C-alpha cells in the first residue's frame, strides 16, 4: 500500500481527532489528499489490481507528544 504523508505546523487549540478533522476540512487538506490520491491511483493503475493507495496520513507536528501516542495524527481513508 502507498500512503500520502503530509506534516502540518498549524497552531490549533487542540490536537484531538475532532479538532484535526475540523482543521483538515476547513483548510482544504482533504481536497489536497483527494487530488494526490487520484494521482497515485493513476500512477499505479498498471500495478496489481490498482488498489494500492492506502490513504493520507497527516502529522500535526505541534500537537505530537511521545507521552500521548496518536495525538496530532490523523488518517484519511481513500474514497472508493
Helix or strand or coil: residue 54? Answer: strand
Contact status, residue 20 vs residue 62, Cβ threshold 8 Å: no
19 φ, ψ (degrees, to nearest 5): -70, -40
Selected catalytic residue, list 6, 10, 49, 65: 6
- Residue 10 bears catalytic tag: no
Question: Which residues participate in catalysis according to the annotation?
Answer: 6
Amino acid at each position: 500500500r502507498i500512503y500520502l504523508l503530509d506534516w502540518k505546523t498549524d497552531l490549533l487549540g487542540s490536537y484531538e481527532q475532532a479538532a484535526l478533522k475540523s482543521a483538515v476540512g476547513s483548510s482544504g487538506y482533504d481536497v489536497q489528499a483527494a487530488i494526490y490520491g487520484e494521482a497515485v491511483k493513476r500512477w499505479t493503475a498498471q500495478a496489481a489490481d490498482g488498489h494500492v493507495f492506502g490513504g493520507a496520513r497527516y502529522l500535526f507536528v505541534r500537537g505530537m507528544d511521545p507521552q500521548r501516542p496518536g495525538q496530532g495524527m490523523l488518517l484519511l481513508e481513500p474514497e472508493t
